[in-house]
Structure 1
């Protein structure tokens, strides 16, 4: 512990990201849900045409070129969009804008653990409402928790499922606080909650370019909400939080929907084949609306398999926490990567 930090900072453990191998390491990386395919060629063209003037000057404070691209693609007004240094920054901005000691952060669990970490930083009270065995959204319990902010990841990590729009509508109508629908994996799902933003002034939809657009290294995300709700978030975000290169590259990637959808379709096809292969090995596998699978080994020895795969140069994600200690979260890779994984599991099992 340190005398320099607030008590809540001393008490917290901090978020632990997935392992990142050193550049050039020969490893199959299936642990942090990155897209296995390269970014849009149109985005790469922009990167190759960077003007030195972009670097000399401050960028636009609201990343308007990128906001315009989002507006065009999703057919929403530009002033309904806020841009962040990854959607994680926007999650932080929301919590800093809407919570404080005595104002609660609520979410169904298990889910993205960063929600808890960000609430601890504030600090705000955290209420975790367990999902049912079938991952049914516990609407009554979430409403009763009376959060200043309620997070629902849809599709959810690590459980892979989406929450039906009807259930999110029911939840939003009963909440007195803000409902954040985290759609980080929406590009691999069958539906989006975006229409609900038109119906409710307490809903924020967050998205990222890290997954569907293959731009995890760029750190670019955005949120959509009615302007009255965004007005407070704009007060809290850093003045120049999006650099000029990310803004330009991200705008090009956003406008290249044909390429993004093609890559997403390839991932979904590989996801279906990988699920079949894992089931044939005796794994129990959740149906998925994401670019990863949650798989329970036939002997429940998830940690043992995680470590054995790591020794063979294959990284998957293992969460040592209740309800997940007997499961592996496996990012869908290329066909070749997936086949190498299956061959290793055949040997280990």
Structure 2
């Protein structure tokens, strides 16, 4: 059959998101790094009191109220902010505005695999540089590529490590192209990279999906010099953020006390879950996120992923080079984490004795 698609699209695998159980299922979902706690009560107030009149009109194309809230909280000018339908859209805007088929896009691996998908869609030329075992940023290798766009996730997924700000500053000064600092998990980290946006070629991208418990409304934003944002606005959809999302985002952003309290609970649970997993033999990488990268004692990650799924517990297994023997586990509530640990203890003997090895 004749294909209707570009050759690049035919050749793509496409991004594969984490499994989504049915809404009425009792699955313990620890595979997509969602926040286990509900959004701010102020979000509920917005939904209950939303003026339906705004639903018949086009929304504010610039998401002004949400941008004002971001400006107030992060102390950045509103004209330094662009809003996207999730941070993924802002990542996509950078690729669409800054690359063509001759451009190189570079990022260290393993990292957020959507970068690869976005590059292949453009199409541009992807250059993937391996992280060393200690996850120290390979600055020289990244600079040598001289990419039109360089993606750095910090904290990184799936490793959970944070890139030192001084490394990001050095990278920004040595690159001729755009440096994208993806801070999706910054709300669970000990530091941020916002200061690096002082460089004209740097954009920091954040989301409300993780720290603010708003993955369901798809809302993110980028912070950069207005000269860099000019090109992104040219390729942005006119009305990419709906009126309800804008109102919800502004309310959630302004309730920093609630967001921070939930983040602190997750950090405490992260430490406890790390300790529990290490006690049963797992290697656990230090994390600055709301998830853990772990390696089972015998490295049979896919086996454990499948067995846990049978028991109604979803975690993330990546069939990807360098991750075949590892799992990514979202930090849930303490009750969810305990169910996971008890399930793993129950499975612990079987994978390592005789035919149970997988």
Superposition deviation, residue 271 in structure 1: 0.1
Q: Who is 1:224 aligned against? A: 223
Question: Secondary structure at the residue paired with 1:241?
Answer: coil
Q: Who is 2:318 aligned against? A: 319
Deviation track 1:56-103 (CA, whole Å, cap 9, x = no partner) reads 100000101100000000000000000000000111111000011010
1:300-315 to 2 correspondence within 5 Å?
A: 300-315=299-314
Superposition deviation, residue 322 in structure 1: 1.3
Deviation track 1:169-219 (CA, whole Å, cap 9, x = no partner) reads 000000000000000000000010001112x00000000000000000010
Question: Secondary structure at the residue paired with 1:235?
Answer: helix
Normalising by structure 1, what TM-score? Answer: 0.99
Q: Distance in 2 between matches of 1:160 and 1:122?
A: 28
Superposition deviation, residue 3 in structure 1: 2.5
Q: Who is 1:90 aligned against? A: 90
Q: Who is 2:128 aligned against? A: 128
Would the alpha carbon gap of residues 346 and 2 (structure 1) be closer, same or farther in structure 2, given more than 3 Å must change? farther
Would the alpha carbon gap of residues 99 and 284 (structure 1) be closer, same or farther in structure 2, given more than 3 Å must change? same
Residue range with higher mean Cα deviation, 47-56 or 203-212: 47-56
Unpaired runs of at least 5, structure 2: 349-358
Would the alpha carbon gap of residues 241 and 339 (structure 1) be closer, same or farther in structure 2, given more than 3 Å must change? same
1:290-305 to 2 correspondence within 5 Å?
A: 290-305=289-304
Q: Who is 2:194 aligned against? A: 194
Q: Who is 1:51 aligned against? A: 51
Unpaired runs of at least 5, structure 1: none
Confirm or deny that 1:249 pairs with 2:253.
Answer: no
Q: How many residues matched? A: 348
Question: Would you say the 8 A contact 1:2–1:10 is kept in 2?
Answer: no
Superposition deviation, residue 44 in structure 1: 1.2
Q: Distance in 1 between matches of 2:319 and 2:3?
A: 31
Runs of 4+ aligned structure 1 residues displaced above 3 Å come to none
Normalising by structure 2, what TM-score? Answer: 0.97
Q: Who is 2:269 aligned against? A: 270
Q: Distance in 2 between matches of 1:94 and 1:25?
A: 38
Q: Distance in 2 between matches of 1:302 and 1:230?
A: 42
Superposition deviation, residue 2 in structure 1: 4.6
Would the alpha carbon gap of residues 33 and 2 (structure 1) be closer, same or farther in structure 2, given more than 3 Å must change? farther
Q: Distance in 1 between matches of 2:294 and 2:10?
A: 35
Question: Secondary structure at the residue paired with 2:55?
Answer: helix
Superposition deviation, residue 54 in structure 1: 1.2
Question: Secondary structure at the residue paired with 2:305?
Answer: helix
Q: Who is 2:105 aligned against? A: 105
Q: Distance in 1 between matches of 2:22 and 2:145?
A: 43
Question: Secondary structure at the residue paired with 1:129?
Answer: strand
Q: Distance in 2 between matches of 1:181 and 1:44?
A: 31
